[in-house]
Amino acid sequence: MNQFYQKDIISIKDFEKNSLETIFSATDKIMQLDPSDRREICKGKTLGYLFYEPSTRTRLSFDAAMASVGGNSLGISNMSSSSTQKGESLADTVRVMSIYSDVLVLRHTLDGSSRFAAEVSEKPVINAGSGTEEHPTQAIQDLFTIKKEKRKIDGLKIGIVGDLKYGRTVYSLLYGLGNYDVDVHLISPESLKIRSDSVYEIKKRLDFAESTDITETIDEFDVLYVTRIQKERFPDEEEYLKVKGSYVVGLDLIKQMKDDAIILHPLPRIDEISADVDKTKNAKYFEQAEYGKYTRAAILGLILNENGF
């Protein structure tokens, strides 16, 4: 039985290990299928997207994913050209978009926006980023990348560095990692530590250590997950300037890492990973972006086909 048929994807907290592994298996199948067979999976289906915040990879990967499984996409990526400028509510925009599409992808600035959209939409809703809360399909993509590149997730030591306060990808990844036996170390400036209101819930899923110095434990990590300092989420630019450039992963730091350690980043990158790192065997963030297309194609295929594919 396909547990994802016509289901919303709102929070990674709704996933258990077996449901994640189901998506990973579907992703592997997607990657192995002949393109002509792959295009039959969502043939005749339409993906609708609403992006109230800028996006490059997430929107384009959903678009590319839907095309790869034979569907088409329509939507709004620039709200300045939509009826929101006339005062249309999120509820009405979602209702109308759900009329035109079979599945809806939403990114919004407000916490709780995707869960609200799921309540008013006639079609399944996928959360592509809701305020500072979560980005569940990014976490699925991240976990799949780790499994593909390291051949496993259980037993790994994972370092997560950067903006842990405002980075919604971090929260989704931590909730997802809670389904596995991993050793997690969080590294950030004091002002960007993981939010205290989330610590209790995350610690119900997994234990983690915290520090401000990346060099203390860099040689222990199997996976280094780097995030940018999110300037747009700081209420005060002066506070941003205090922490800008706190961590830069360069060749000097890579020399201290395990030889087979991998470096991930949800992108966009600003200055937290030097460009000369891109050519190293450790850099896997562009592969990570490619895996995003396939994991999202698998998710769409599962949501839109009662018996899977």
Active site residues: 57-58, 86, 107, 135
Cβ neighbors of 32 (< 8 A, separation 6 or more) are none
Among residues 170, 139, 111, 183, which one has the least CA distance to residue 15?
139
Q: Are 132 and 283 in contact (CB under 8 A)?
A: no
* Token digits of residue 182: 């991993």
Question: Can you give 49-88 as a three-state secondary structure string?
Answer: EEECCCCCHHHHHHHHHHHHCCCEEEEECCHHHCHHHHCC
Cα distance between residue 9 and residue 126, in whole Å: 5
Concatenated DSSP letters for 36-49? Answer: HHHTTTTTT-EEEE
Cα distance between residue 124 and residue 117, in whole Å: 9
* Token digits of residue 32: 């192995």
Angle 89-108-291 from CA coordinates, rounded to 5°: 140
